[in-house]
Amino acid sequence: MPWWFHLLIALSAIGLYLFLSHLVFRRFIRVGNRNNGGLVDQESPFFKASWAWYRSVPRETVKIRAYDGTRLAATFITSADANSGRTAILCHGYRSVDSDLAILAKLYSDHGFKVLLPDARAHGLSGGAFTSFGHYEKFDLKKWIDHVLRTHGADEEILLHGVSMGASTAFLAAAGDIPKNVKLIVADSPFASVWGVFVRSVRPRLLAIFLPGIEFWCRYLYRFFLFSIDVPKAVARVRIPFLIIHSVGDRVTPYAASERMAAVSQAPSREVYTVHSDVHAEGYKTDKAGIDMKIAELVRTWFQRKK
């Protein structure tokens, strides 16, 4: 066969691979706003009381612009304490929405915090067509921190609590130039790398062969390398006290990765709270009492008494 025929076959194969990769890319990365309903069954017994509280408490929708002009939205809940000088920013996970963290909003509100619940880009009420699993979201989180300080004063103390992708986003943001107002990070089930999450969780497993193609489209269309996101490297630069909550049997983000992240960190306080469960990002359901006690202990340690 002539050389050009072999070249044609090769180019056709590459084109087909990139086409199929783009279909997978659209499924997992271009999430758009197809997830406005959230992932949590708020009427289930575990969440029902906090959901009733959330619906009854005064809430305000806050909107800002990201560094690239993307419209970002969040729900703000003020503190019952008029003199509260602390704000908790709660970051949800992939395909979730702000209200999924209503139960955590009540927890921090009970501790006297104002609560800000941002919708990540391409989630909930925020704009944007794609998720970057923390790459661009870390800059969005910094914008929310700046918003809190501009709105509530330069002395406001801030706590970051993230779940899954939100937890990794908090670490990625804290690794850079971040205000000293951020006193504590609570990270529930952070991932170490996006590649590992995809390989372990993508269904059907055959779709894993398109991961290099997804990387190509992320770089070509949105100018970032998805699989170069390195959360342990970021954690090694974090100098803010943190608590990681992780289930030992987590099959999406392995528990051992959290242990390694705590080991490489130079933060003044770093702890992994072990939950005996095998469900990803649901440790709070398994051991709510224990986690509540641990968070209360850390709040007393790292935050000033209310004025």
What b/e sequence results for 34-53 when a residue is b if at least 16 CB atoms lie within 10 Å of its CB, and e otherwise? Answer: ebeebebebeeeebeebbeb
CB atoms within 10 A of CB 183: 18
The rounded distance, in Å, linking the Cα atoms of 75 and 30 is 23
Confidence (pLDDT) at 176: 85
Task: Answer whether 154's CB lies under 8 Å from 180's CB.
Answer: no
What pLDDT digit, counting tens, does each position of 123-161 carry? 999 999 999 999 999 999 999 999 999 999 999 999 999
The pTM assigned to this predicted structure is: 0.95
Residue bearing tokens 């440790």: 283
Token pair belonging to 174: 């804290």
pLDDT confidence tier of residue 2, bands split at 50, 70 and 90:
confident
The rounded distance, in Å, linking the Cα atoms of 249 and 277 is 6
Mean pLDDT for all residues in the chain: 94
Token pair belonging to 195: 């590649």
What domains are defined for the chain? 1-30+195-227 (no CATH), 37-193+229-302 (3.40.50.1820)
What pLDDT digit, counting tens, does each position of 17-37 carry? 999 999 999 999 987 765 567
Distances (CA, A) of 188 to 57, 92, 93, 200, 256: 25, 10, 10, 18, 14
Residues in the chain: 307
The rounded distance, in Å, linking the Cα atoms of 99 and 116 is 11
